[in-house]
Structure 1
């Protein structure tokens, strides 16, 4: 779907559907007032009859109003508040898109520029609107014998004034790239695990490298992982027929002398729990355990599309965690690339094992900052639910930057503590560290585990176990988060 920005009066625009806002109490936006006057009070008459209350997300479609060039006018309710929050604003835009999808017109125009959204300027408001529209078009029907019917809607025009046009155009450009990155992430997450395994992700990286010449791709196989001393990484994959892969993608958009930012993604393409086997109900959703890696893929795609002037290294730790005669056992001790030894008390705490070696590997890039992204702990879902990602780290400035990026992108995170007291829960009588810290504070002790391998640089950890996918029901599937947060963080660093 094409998004176009114009500074044109809505009453003069020829379009299949023109969208204007109506508040509770029959309050008309300025655009709606102009249309009402031109149509001889047709909109006021409809509202007077009580056909639309103006509550957030309500809508009413009007046909062939007199003296208007638009074939239809869609009234959308925006509630009674002077300023909308991010969520109500998204609800309004989603309601508009839902109606437009079912219409026969090939285009539409949104005269919603005068809506006020809390703490958002013209750029921020337009970014949120455009992202909601493009992401709302997402469909995953690759394995359906009956594909979704092609939609008539091909173009949406966003109306604004000339003073804000440049900001809105920039917002649309950023939103398109972010939504495209989210779609890439969702596609990877939604793929079945019999097809989406570590080697498949490696092929996706190679394809991305062919598409973008500014991207250098390296794939490290089992032999290379062994040479690197990645004993923890290898231990996770040794029970599977699918070999593990460390994917290294290096984007040079800045000066060669500039330190890169590094994103590290957990890519467990299917997680049975290994010998510490998970319960059967819901195990199909363990294909989403690679959504950390998928979100790094999506963020990188957005950065490539926007050609951001930064250096970015993306490291994807990919393996499949299966039970077999070769699988790691509870009680096994493995050596990590850092030289630290780990006692594996629970083979279902495997994500931190592939990540710890990858975090050590990240040191060679002399990074400006490292962020790892992982569907790491069920405890994070218990703590924060499905709305907010967990955030920890060793640098307050980096944590603040990520929290701010989450607010700006409406892809929020919440900081959890990494106090030294939690580290004691990881003590092992037989190795340097245990891979679990008991039932209390599971998300935090997982972060504590990773922190022991991230002392050489500024580091943050995002636990996206609750936000990476929607669980159960007809809407089950990958969400594309936290691509907006990560891309916003990199936009901020690039000053774009």
Structure 2
């Protein structure tokens, strides 16, 4: 019997989230396995001699584990966290992932917290929860049997005096990990089961549960609004496009919002390339992940209430597939973007910038302090930075710096690239206001310059996640397949956001300002 899209749950992780708790004694943790973090050169537990560890070759490096029966016969996994004087949240997150993966067959885990000089209890608890929960992710609604049990509970064990700090950190880690798992679910869902209309339904369901305001704009409404970029990309599809607008407003009782941030996500549910058809290769087979930007925005905004975010955030998800057919947009066609600017289409596989242009214009029509878009946009960015680092562009250095700071806290690496306006002339069109392709080189820069044309000078940053949205192999808490990259970065950005100064708009990449002229 074929699975109907209505019977398919695209976000199974949201409904089976792990229970996280904090206790003051290991005796109070009912978990089947206890984890004990050990710094490099650190002392092992009293019941286990240093000679036993040395004989096993365990040194306390991140990525090492040692399984031993503990007091009362309960299995104990010792896991390395690296040198005590250099342990930070990144090391703890990776170490917790190693522990959780070493006990994959167990659904209920507990761990003590390390004693380090550099790491506070709250941050340590957050990192441990994030690492364990994200490492144990699996997407299995289409499998007859899950490969392993999911992580049902995680208990942190530490002295009573530190309990309040640990609970705050654990709760924050739980919400942030939940955002990443949700983004992974959406990106992993097959395009025949998660089209634009279906992701709109998911957004409505999440909105009802989390307090997000959700508006869905259908094909006819988009036509009346003049969203010709989104409709032009959708022209070859049998599935209608959807624009989904999300609004998060902090509780009024907590005072006025700290600022207003607008997020825009590329939501190409499947990208065939359109008339500019992609080769039938391994990359083409991953194109269900071309909505990872929209998935990251939806996931991040779904947890802002739980995190107590004080920033008012608006999100636009621009959702359609990009298919070839007799009605598809052709090379040489001209599209009218929201606001009236015209675009000559010279490559239908440069479609993400077209759908996001409509949203960027809409973002400028409402009060906002800054606009940030995120998209699996260019293979050029993947080739420039590799598969693990996102590219960041922007017209306001203060905003770009906030994006980079959020990426560091989330351990979702990003690197600023120049918004080299000397290349803007390569987007000039003889027929329209702008064309959607530049020359053969600098493709990531051309895409960013195209997007900047639609932000009306507002503080804006662009995050190109074409590389880190997909993993060829599992590594620590990053699984094989769709990674959910960007969800925690965006949530962190919203949590820490402060409106960039007007004087910051138009500043350049530090040290290479001449490149932008």
Given the two structures, how large is their TM-score scaled by the length of structure 1? 0.89
What is the aligned partner in structure 1 of residue 261 from structure 2?
A: 261
Range with greater deviation from structure 2 (188-197 or 88-97): 88-97
Superposed displacement of residue 223, structure 1: 1.4
1:220 is the counterpart of 2:212: no
Moved more, 274-283 or 248-257: 248-257
1:279 match: 279
From 65, 69, 90, give the equivalent of 1:63: 69
> Match of 1:437?
438
SS at match of 1:431: coil
Deviates more, 1:435-444 or 1:107-116: 107-116
Tell me if the contact between 2:29 and 2:155 (Cα under 8 Å) persists in the aligned partners: no
- Give the aligned partner of residue 143 of structure 1: 142
What secondary structure, in the 3-state scheme, does the structure 2 residue paired with 1:209 have? helix
Distance 1:270 1:175 in 2: 31
Equivalences for residues 443-454 of structure 1 within 5 A: 443-454=444-455
Q: Evaluate the alpha carbon distance shift between residue 449 and residue 13 of structure 1 in structure 2; reply closer, same or farther with a 3 A threshold.
A: closer
Cα pair 1:124 1:408 within 8 Å, conserved: no
2:93 equivalent to 1:96: no
Match of 1:5 among 22, 25, 43: 22
Q: State the alpha-carbon separation in 1 of the partners of residues 170 and 72 from structure 2.
A: 26
CA shift digits 1:15-48 (9 cap, x unpaired): 6433334455xx334xx3xx32xx3xx4234135
Residue 325 (str. 1) matches residue 322 (str. 2): no
Q: Distance in 2 between matches of 1:392 and 1:414?
A: 9
Note if contact 1:113-1:159 (Cα within 8 Å) is conserved in structure 2: no
Match of 1:230 in 2: 227
Q: How big is the shift at 1:494?
A: 8.5
Structure 1 residue ranges without an equivalent (≥5): none
Answer with 1 or 2: which has the greater Rg: 1
Q: CA deviation at 1:149?
A: 4.8
SS at structure 1 position matched to 2:124:
helix
* Mapped contact 1:292–1:374 kept (Cα < 8 A): yes
1:421 equivalent in structure 2: 422
Q: 1:327: how far off?
A: 0.7
Q: Structure 1 residue 364 and structure 2 residue 357: aligned?
A: no
Equivalent pairs, count: 475
1:262 CA displacement: 1.2
Which ranges in structure 2 are unaligned for 5 or more consecutive residues? 1-17, 500-517
Deviation at 1:315, TM superposition (A): 0.7
What's the CA shift for 1:178?
1.2
**Alpha-carbon distance between aligned partners in 2 of 1:400 and 1:307, rounded to the nearest angstrom:** 23
Distance 2:152 2:216 in 1: 39
CA deviation digits over 1:287-331, x for unaligned, max 9?
A: 110110011111011113334333221111011111111111111
Report the TM-score when normalising by structure 2.
0.85
Question: How far off is 1:51 after superposition?
Answer: 5.0
For the residue of structure 1 that corresponds to 2:262, the secondary structure is: strand
- Give the alignment partner of residue 49 of structure 2, picking from 25, 29, 43: 43
Indicate yes or no: 2:181 matched with 1:187.
no
The verdict on how the C-alpha distance between 1:205 and 1:72 changes in structure 2, with shifts beyond 3 A counting, is closer
- Structure 2: distance between partners of 1:371 and 1:175: 23
2:242 is aligned to: 245
**Cα gap change, 1:133 to 1:231, in 2 (>3 Å):** same
Q: Deviations over 1:67-119 (max 9, x none)?
A: x457233222344563136554443222211222235xx644322321466xx
Q: Say if 1:221 and 1:13 are closer, same or farther in 2 by CA, change over 3 A.
A: closer
